[in-house]
Amino acid sequence: MDNENAISFYIKDGIFAINKISMNTDFDVIIIGGGPAGLTAGIYLARAKMSVLILNEGSIGGQMVLTHQIENYPGIDSISGYMLARTMSKQAEKFGCIIKSNTKISKLELEGEQKTITINDKENFTAKVVILATGGKSRSLNVPGENNFSGKGISYCATCDGDFFQDRDIIVVGGGNSALEEAVSLTQYASSVTVVHQFDHFQAYEHAIEEAKANEKISFVMESEILEFSGEQNLQKVKIRDKDNNIEDKNIDGVFIFIGYIPQTEFVENIVELNSWNEIVVDDKLQTSVAGVFAAGDARATRVRQITTATADGTVAALQAIEYILK
């Protein structure tokens, strides 16, 4: 539950009443994004007695909640992404973070000592430091059934979900470095890996192409695209169309989609420096091109995107934010 208001109770003329007190609008740090990077930063900051507001647009936990089972987070044998997100958010709130969900950033004023953020076109909040932890999302195919079977046979992370497909037949969609490298990685679990790519050539480096072609478990379906995912509780079939418009219904146990990644940075365009992939550019202290504004997690320019790297970023950004404020 969002801590939007403090509540006090009183009795007047023998009637029990509730008085809502508006939430403070001035904070030491405002974190934009409630994924693992943002929540970790909030935990560190709040434990250091900083006042912290976490603004979150969607579900708390970000992309983490889409992972059905997490088994590579240190210290935890197995946990769902939803439960890990819930645990992190409760911990952040326990230390004093205020989490405000269902927020849409309307305006940012990040220059100067006092930063101002407007949400939902009506509420203004100020802070000495802002941490951008908005994450990103894997590019989707946007075909029927994809949303229904995300986490139930469809995955966007081989590291997260590969071992759930031990001795299974799977498909990898894509033709870039990530697709071919992950296809090779997935052969340590799967019986077979079929790479489905819409073009007649790959966009990957030559060594990645050669390694994939040399793997006897991998086959290729070129100039083809997936039209639909179907099944009952879990994914069971995909509909594939080739270059000649022939359509095949293929039984399959799982599909991994690697067709690109979209950082959620549109709202900071022309405010902080972005690279050609619209990722936030930071220095070794995770500070952006604007003083007092830091970035952490999947929204920043980085090659590896995992829950553990996001939490590490959140830690660094929080500690640097504390140092910046105490200066």
Residue 28 three-state SS? strand
Query: H or E element: which one contains 236?
Result: strand 235-241
Catalytic residue among 2, 77, 97, 161: 161
Beta strands in 4-156 (DSSP E): 5-12, 15-22, 26-32, 52-55, 98-100, 105-109, 115-119, 123-132, 136-138, 154-155
Compute the distance between CA of residue 181 and CA of residue 172 in angstroms, rounded to an integer.
10
- Measured at the CA of 147, the angle between CA 275 and CA 162, to 5 degrees, comes to 75
Q: Answer yes or no: 161 catalytic.
A: yes
Calculated CA dihedral for residues 270, 264, 40, 148, nearest 10 degrees: 170
Q: Are 66 and 37 in contact (CB under 8 A)?
A: no
Angstrom distance (rounded) from CA 85 to CA 249: 36
**Phi, psi at 70, each rounded to 5°:** -110, 120
Q: Among 97, 157, 298, 313, which one carries the catalytic annotation?
A: 157
Catalytic residue among 160, 253, 298, 313: 160
The reply to whether 160 belongs to the active site is yes
**CA atoms within a 13 Å half-sphere pointing along the CA-CB vector of 300:** 29
Tell me if residue 97 is catalytic. no
Catalytic residue numbers, as ranges: 157, 160-161
